[in-house]
A and B are shown apart, each in its own frame.
Chain A
């Protein structure tokens, strides 16, 4: 929460981000961007020209004709024609601008969104472990929303405002210098007031954001614990606490809003004052004949001054939202700039077949796999995929200089089951994070079928490792889609076979639409146990030589667990398996049990050995220690 708040504080206008954003847009939409630019200029100029032309019309075409008995309307009609042309050009340019802008905005947003998602898929797990989900999500929601407004509205408006200001200013000077001076004076006054109000509102703006964070945090915590609140009849106290922070938010929001909403009428009023002063001054000048001021001139100058003020107040109003949008864009760019997961692996996983006693690579789908290992001397070696895993003196820390694993050495021969046991934070999960290279080790070596895993292409390494995680993540879609998540081409038979292996078939058949039952959201319509069975089925379909089971059976009741265990045993057959379980019943038949404590291996051996040893495992087993 703290982190979020700091980022959300009243942002400064970051010109670098603006530049990058504009270059991002112009890079992808160069021609259209230029077109929009031209259109913006045309609209602004035609607007100024339109109001200037009114003077010409009145002074040169209407006034001379007043009182003439038989007026010649020819030139007058011609002047109206010019007016129509000016307006038409402006309208047409505006029309083109807004339509093209839609393409640019939505296109750019799509590009940004897509690029962000693609980049995100390439980020290392570390990024996801160090950022909250809400934080990452907000870049796709809030930040993109504000950005969309900024591209579609703020950017063209800023350009047009700037152009209008310049054009009108030139027009004003050309029209009359004295009256221009009046406008400049009142403008200076307006700017100082705007600045004053803006700085006052900024103070409350920060406070408001803090309160928003507090209220949102509170709501989040309470809603997530809503059932506990009910059980303890804690509703009244919860409401009371809520009222306190909610009132505080209201107070701060009111103050922030108060100043912000004063800005518009103040500027409007000052515009009116200026309007009046010009009329008075201009009128008096005209009466006294100073500076060649005519009625037409005053009229068009009044128009000009209005046209001059509008973009200025627009800019000042947009400033806050532009700054917010830039902050959002900054966060989006930050995500895009994150260092992607590095992969220097060159050993790949390929299908092989035996031909004339020789191993041959093939594109066919055979059940045999091999590591294709090109050596530096140009020779090519095929190493059959077996699932032999070796960790040699591995050290690792999530942060620099803070090791969480010390000198870990583990050997797992193909088909062996290795179990990790230890308290929370002992490093069990960390070891599995290293096997599939979610994180890279600091020191030591991990070998897969004799190959250093750093040499293996990450995708291929991961494909060869099956994972059943503690938090079962299902995706919106049917049960079938979820089971064949890793392989869209899998046949229905494969799916059913995998489900049967995981003992998930029975409960799936009891669901209303069987395998076509749609799981929504996080699959909350299924029990924890059922979800785990699905994720086991998913792993079974993938059929990897090595499996990592991270507390996979933790929330299945012992009876179901037995059913699952049978399936698992089938699944584990001929596979190398790493199990992390907090129930010792699941690890008993392991080839080796590794007992971890504070990142070090303190005991290892099979169940009987360890019981006989009467060490930590024995104590855990007899229930003297807690596993978690």
Chain B
């Protein structure tokens, strides 16, 4: 895990390494201060020596000044390293998500990908900064304080070691007891958030079924779980402070007792005792800092794990050796294709699909919910890979194409389509960044979008809100079609993309397709028979299998399902 995360340090390596070094220097100087202080007291004050007082005093000031300089430098370095690290981590994650296949995207919910980019990164950034600054400072302070104490007087300093086993056992107990509870609490937290989120999203359902009490009880139960676990864990962690205080206080009392006796018998000086006590204090502070860091790392570990999950997820689309860039024509072939989303033979969505589509044909696909219409067409631009069999475009297996070239020639209008915040023009240029205004207008005319766009006050510069909320469903669909047309693809797939468009416009779009882009292979998935009626070939899908294929007239004669659908719709619409 740490290895994966560490890869994101990159150009901030210098700052990352420099920080602990600077911090170390700062800490060492900090440790020196009480040492010098001992001299000042013993040789200066106790002897009544004015020069010594001033000499050591100035030395102290210089040390303090140096400590500040190094401290500031360390702070800057730490800020640079941690913000830079977070930047790179965010970038690596985002980049990796961009390389995901549809199957990868399906695995994570958008919400969870987003939290990983935001909250989790934040936690890791904080922990990282803590680690490079304080995680080095505290042990150094600790070790050097110990060394200094030993330098002053070995016998007395042994007192420090006496409490070490006590402290170690205590800390071990706290860490091992608290950690599993913390882990559980975080999972419960997810549960609580889930309940809240579902409640907010479904508040209309809650209110219309009058289930507020039920929701409240559900919430209380989990909330109580969190309360109990957290209290338990925190109470264990709360042992931390008294543990350290007892240790250090014991040290100070023993120091005073033994040290006092030694002073009396002239084996130790007052100054030395004072310094020893300062070191004891310093050790206490470092220990406390260390325990704070431990808790931070415990908390950020969960976040780090979630980030690594994103980083280590590899695209499920493996490229073949050949990276053919040119797609010759718009013919499509399916040979014995099976497909399953979960790689389980018992859960195939498509079974034994054999198909041949000629370049320039218009193909209609019709079938019930769950008949895998969308799944079928998604194999063509390699949004998913077939589990078994081959999908060919222009006679070549889609896996042998360079994926970008393939997708540029196979344009697909998704069922759940999205417009992005930006002007209409900007959105359309997703299809072709270099498209001229004329090309854009032509594409919009083909998709019957030109008319309503011209009616907007800002025309093609009209700003689309995030998610396209300020245009109607039918308008959104037509913009999405225009965006796909701008690619000038050899194959154009419309996955139920005119459901909100009225029948008249729908047929106008199809007519335009026929006349303006006759050489493009067009695949139209639709619910309305009228949308596919005049296609060259209509495929009837049922339960992931091809139930029938042929022209409208043929199917009316020999396909029950098709006839059923046709009649149910015509009855209503006649």
* Separation of A532 and B75 alpha carbons in the complex (Å): 56
List chain B residues, Cβ under 8 A from A22: none
Taking the complex as formed, is A264 at the interface, i.e. its CB lies under 8 A from any CB of chain B? yes
B72 touches A266 (CB 8 A): yes
CA A62 – CA B269 in complex, angstroms? 11
Once the chains are docked, how many angstroms separate the CA of A521 from the CA of B194? 8
C-alpha gap A233/B483 in the complex (Å): 13
- Specify the chain B residue showing the minimal Cβ separation from A269: B68
CB of A227 within 8 A of CB of B67, answer: no
Contact with B along A99-135 (1 / 0, CB 8 A): 1011101110110011001101110010010000100
Q: Are A235 and B98 CB-contacts (below 8 A) given A110-B226, A625-B502?
A: yes
For the complex formed, measure the closest distance between the CB of B76 and the CB atoms of chain A, giving whole angstroms.
5
A269 to B72, CA, bound (A): 10
8 nearest A-B residue pairs (beta carbon): A265-B71, A269-B68, A473-B202, A623-B503, A280-B57, A276-B60, A261-B75, A272-B64
Contacting residues, chain B, for A275 (C-beta < 8 A): 33, 37, 60, 64
Instruction: Please state if A239 and B79 are interface contacts (CB–CB under 8 Å).
Output: no
Give 12 A-B contacts (CB < 8 Å), ordered by A residue: A114-B223, A118-B216, A226-B110, A262-B76, A273-B61, A276-B57, A436-B208, A473-B202, A476-B195, A485-B205, A559-B564, A628-B500
Residue with the greatest number of chain A CB neighbours at <10 A, chosen from B60, B90, B205, B467: B205
- CB of B37 within 8 A of CB of A302, answer yes
The yes or no answer to A612 lying at the interface (CB within 8 A) is no
The 8 Å CB contact of B87, one of A217, A249, A535, A622, is A249
B204 at the interface (CB under 8 A from A): yes
A442 CB–B CB distance under 8 Å: no
Q: Does the CB pair A469–B204 fall under 8 Å?
A: yes
* Chain B contact residues, majority secondary structure: helix
Pair B505/A529 contact, Cβ less than 8 Å: no
Residue of B nearest to A560 (CB): B369
Known: A62-B260, A62-B263, A228-B417. A624 touches B502 (CB 8 A): yes
Chain B, Cβ-Cβ closest to A299: B274
Given A438-B204, A488-B214, A527-B369: A219 and B72 within 8 A (CB)? no
Tell me if A287 counts as interface (CB < 8 A to partner B).
yes
Asked whether, in the complex, the Cβ of B68 is within 8 Å of the Cβ of A268, the reply is: yes
- Stretch in B111-119, B159-167, B387-395 with 4+ CB within 8 Å of A: B111-119
- Shortest CB distance B201–A (Å): 6
CB pair B49 A287 closer than 8 Å: yes
A54/B277 contact (C-beta < 8 A), A239-B94, A626-B500 known: yes
Q: Which of A90, A125, A140 has the most CB of B within 10 A?
A: A140
Instruction: State the CA gap A620–B573 with chains docked (Å).
Output: 12
Distance, CA A63 to CA B529, complexed state (A) = 106
* Residues B368 and A557 in contact, CB atoms below 8 Å apart: yes
Measured between C-beta atoms, what is the minimum distance from A249 to chain B in Å? 7
Give the nearest-CB partner of B285 in chain A.
A310
Q: Do B212 and A122 touch across chains, with their CB atoms under 8 A apart?
A: yes
Asked if B501 CB lies within 8 Å of chain A CBs, one says: yes
Segment touching A, from B251-259, B327-335, B548-556: B251-259
In the complex, A582 has a CB within 8 A of chain B = yes
Q: Which residues of A contact B97 (CB under 8 A)?
A: 223, 226
| CB-based contact B502/A627 at 8 Å | yes
Task: Among B95, B207, B266, point to the contact of A438 (Cβ < 8 A).
Answer: B207
Q: Is the CB of B274 within 8 A of A302?
A: yes
Encode B27-67 as 1/0 by CB contact (under 8 A) with A.
00010010001001100111011100110110011011101
Whether A238 contacts B98 in the complex (CB less than 8 A), given A80-B253, A140-B193, A266-B71, comes out as yes
Q: Give the chain B neighbours of A623 by CB distance below 8 A.
A: 502-506
Q: Which of B102, B266, B568 contacts A67 (CB 8 A)?
A: B266
- Hey, what's the 0/1 contact readout for A527-548 against B, CB within 8 Å counting as 1? 1111000010010001000000
Interfacial residues of chain B within 467-513, with CB under 8 A of chain A in the complex: 467, 472-474, 483, 487, 500-506
Complex interface residues of chain A between 230 and 268 (CB less than 8 A to chain B): 230-235, 237-239, 242-243, 246-247, 249-250, 253-254, 257-258, 260-266, 268
Could you tell me the distance in whole angstroms from the C-beta of B241 to the nearest C-beta in chain A?
6
Please state if A229 and B98 are interface contacts (CB–CB under 8 Å).
Answer: yes
Chain A residues near B473 (CB-CB < 8 A): 424, 628
Which of B230, B245, B261 has a CB less than 8 Å from the CB of A94? B245
- In the complex, whether B355 has a CB less than 8 A from a CB of chain A is no
- Are B245 and A459 closer than 8 Å at their CB atoms? no
Q: Is B234 an interface residue (CB 8 A)?
A: yes
Residue in B closest to A276 when the chains form the complex, CB atoms: B60
CA distance A480 to B231 in the complex (A): 34
| Closest Cβ–Cβ distance, residue A614 to chain B (whole Å) | 16
Closest beta carbon of chain B to A524's beta carbon, Å: 7
| A227 and B211 contact, Cβ closer than 8 Å, known pairs A133-B201, A527-B370 | no
B379 within 8 A of A: no
* B383 part of interface (Cβ distance < 8 Å): yes
Q: Are B64's CB and A276's CB within 8 A?
A: yes
Q: In whole angstroms, what is the CA distance A424 to B473 when docked?
A: 9
Q: Mark A405-428, 1 if CB is under 8 A from B, else 0.
A: 000000000000000000110000
Give chain B nearest CB distance to A94 CB in angstroms: 6
Known contacts: A140-B192, A529-B369. The answer to whether A272 contacts B231 by CB under 8 A is no
Q: Is the CB of A58 within 8 A of B573?
A: no
A76–B212 CB distance below 8 A: no
Cβ A133 vs Cβ B197 within 8 A: yes
Set A227, A232, A459: member contacting B105, Cβ < 8 A: A227
**Is B74's beta carbon under 8 Å from chain A?**
yes
Does A4 make an interface contact (CB < 8 A)? Answer: no
CB contacts (< 8 Å) of A102 on chain B: these are 231, 234-235, 238
> B162 to chain A: closest CB distance in Å?
16
Contact of B80 with A by CB under 8 A: yes
Contact between B230 and A106, CB atoms less than 8 A apart: yes
Contacts of B83 in A (CB 8 A): 250, 253-254, 257
Specify which chain B residues have a CB less than 8 angstroms from the CB of A216 in the assembled complex: 114, 117-118
Q: How far is the CA of A95 from the CA of B239 in the complex (A)?
A: 7
Q: CB within 8 A of A560: which of B50, B197, B263, B368?
A: B368
Interface residue? A398 (CB, 8 A): no
Q: Which of A71, A105, A423, A473 contacts B264 (CB 8 A)?
A: A71
Minimal Cβ-Cβ distance residue in B for A423: B472
Q: Which of A10-18, A322-330, A364-372, A460-468 contacts B (4 or more CB under 8 A)?
A: A460-468
Q: Does B173 count as interface, using CB distance less than 8 angstroms? A: no
- Asked whether B151 is an interface residue with its Cβ less than 8 Å from the other chain, the reply is no
| Contact of A128 with B203 in the complex, beta carbons under 8 Å | yes
C-alpha spacing A254/B95, complex, angstroms: 22
> B48, B65, B197: which contacts A137 (Cβ < 8 A)?
B197
Return chain A residues, CB-CB under 8 Å to B60: 272, 275-276, 279-280
Residues in chain A near residue B408, CB distance under 8 A:
233
Contact call B414/A521, Cβ cutoff below 8 A? no
In angstroms, Cα B430 to Cα A235, docked, is 11
The answer to whether A298 touches B204, judged by C-beta atoms less than 8 angstroms apart, is: no
Question: Please, how many angstroms separate the alpha-carbon atoms of A221 and B466 in the complex?
Answer: 7
Bound-state Cα–Cα, A258 to B15, Å: 13
Evaluate contact between A80 and B257: CB separation under 8 angstroms: yes
B353 CB-CB contact with A under 8 Å: no
A558 with B565, Cβ < 8 A, contacts A239-B95, A486-B211 known: yes
Which of A110, A473, A559, A588 touches B565 (beta carbons < 8 Å)? A559
In the bound complex, do residue B98 and residue A219 qualify as a contact, i.e. CB atoms below 8 Å apart? Answer: no
Q: How far is the CB of B334 from chain A (nearest CB, A)?
A: 20
B82 within 8 A of A: yes
Are A63 and B109 within 8 A (Cβ)?
A: no
Tell me if B188 is interfacial: C-beta within 8 Å of chain A: no
Verify if B294 is at the interface (C-beta below 8 Å from A): no
Q: A225: nearest residue on chain B (CB-CB)?
A: B418
Tell me whether A84 is interfacial, beta carbon within 8 Å. Answer: yes
Q: Is A91 an interface residue (CB 8 A)?
A: yes
Chain B stretch 522-554: residues in CB contact (< 8 A) with chain A: 527-529
Distance in Å: Cβ of A374 to nearest Cβ of chain B:
21
A283:B238 contact, CB within 8 angstroms: no
Q: Closest CB-CB distance, A205 to chain B, in whole Å? A: 13
Q: Would you give the shortest CB distance from A342 to chain B, in whole angstroms?
A: 14
Contacts of B57 in A (CB 8 A): 276-277, 279-280, 283
Residues 157-211 of B contacting A (Cβ, < 8 Å): 192-211
